[in-house]
């Protein structure tokens, strides 16, 4: 029973993570141009002479990406744990070409996610918060410090976009491979989700093997007559 649930849990975690990455990217792509067009003035930064729409968009986007990082960290743990437990229980996906490719992709995901969470993310957050604090201070010194911090933050922005794109692609491909990989019963999850086709899915649904002898070919059992 556990072996049957593990592939579903693995695929569910990857699907949730992939959806979170895609929606976060879409939200950011809509948020920044919209606020730039509205060109608001923020009462929390009365002395800041720079672009207030960038401050507003950054405050919202920072929360979106923080939530996405939490979802990604949790889903990565569930995906890795379910795949590892499945291997220890006897699935041994590394013995198959498809399974070995999935493990390689998971390892690449871990590397990219680690760089994002441990190197790039903290540096960008430090520059972002320095930018906010300096903008809130305002004045000549505050505006100059805010401009410096904003420049440092923007320098990392292309790298952050690349990391997000690579991570989304890796998770998406891994999700696709997880959907077509055989489950412990030998049937792809996508086939089972669609109701199953072919002999393998029929065997899963009915519990009968294709090698079972048809009933009409079985020798009749003679009944003992009553005297």
User: Residue 188 forms beta bridges with which residues?
Assistant: 182
Residue-wise pLDDT for 70-98, tens only, equals 999 999 999 999 888 876 666 555 557 77
Contact 94, 100 (CB under 8 A): yes
Closest CA to 54 of 76, 87, 29, 32: 32
Share of the chain above pLDDT 90, in %: 64
Long-range CB pairs of 150-155 (<8 Å, 24+ gap) are 150/50, 150/54, 152/127, 153/124, 153/127, 153/128
Average pLDDT over residues 160-170: 96
Residue-wise pLDDT for 132-157, tens only, equals 999 999 999 999 999 999 999 999 99
End-to-end CA distance of the chain: 50
Q: What is the pLDDT of residue 124?
A: 96
Alpha carbons 167 and 184: distance in angstroms, whole number = 28
The whole-model pTM stands at 0.74
Share of the chain above pLDDT 70, in %: 74
Which DSSP category does 120 fall into?
I
What b/e string do you get for 72-108 counting C-beta neighbours within 10 Å, with b at 16 or more? beebbebbbebbeebbeeebebeeeeebebbbebbee
Q: What is the pLDDT of residue 139?
A: 92
Closest CA to 90 of 6, 192, 180, 206: 6
Q: What is the pLDDT of residue 83?
A: 84
Residue-wise pLDDT for 179-217, tens only, equals 876 555 444 544 444 444 444 444 444 445 444 445 555
Average pLDDT over residues 10-16: 94
* Residue 218 confidence (pLDDT) above 70: no
Domain residue spans in the chain? 2-182
CA quadruple 206, 208, 210, 213: dihedral positive or negative? Answer: negative
């Amino acid at each position: 029973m556990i072996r049957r649930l593990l592939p579903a849990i693995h695929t569910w975690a990857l699907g949730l993570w992939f959806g979170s990455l895609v929606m976060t990217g879409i939200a950011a792509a809509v948020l920044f141009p919209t606020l730039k067009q509205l060109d608001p003035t923020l009462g929390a930064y009365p002395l800041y002479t720079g672009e207030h729409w960038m401050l507003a968009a950054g405050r919202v986007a920072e929360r979106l990406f923080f939530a996405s990082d939490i979802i990604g960290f949790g889903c990565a743990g569930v995906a890795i744990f379910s795949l590892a437990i499945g291997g220890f229980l006897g699935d041994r996906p590394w013995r198959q070409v498809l399974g070995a490719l999935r493990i390689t992709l998971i390892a690449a995901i871990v590397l990219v996610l680690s760089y994002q969470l441990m190197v790039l993310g903290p540096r960008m957050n430090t520059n972002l918060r320095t930018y906010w604090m300096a903008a809130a201070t305002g004045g000549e010194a505050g505006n100059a410090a805010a401009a410096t911090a904003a420049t440092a933050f923007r320098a990392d922005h292309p790298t952050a976009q690349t990391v997000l794109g690579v991570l989304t692609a890796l998770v998406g491909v891994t999700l696709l491979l997880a959907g077509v990989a055989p489950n412990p019963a030998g049937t792809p999850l996508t086939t089972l989700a669609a109701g199953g086709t072919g002999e393998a899915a029929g065997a899963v649904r009915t519990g009968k093997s294709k090698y079972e002898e048809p009933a009409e070919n079985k020798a009749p059992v003679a009944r003992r007559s009553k005297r």
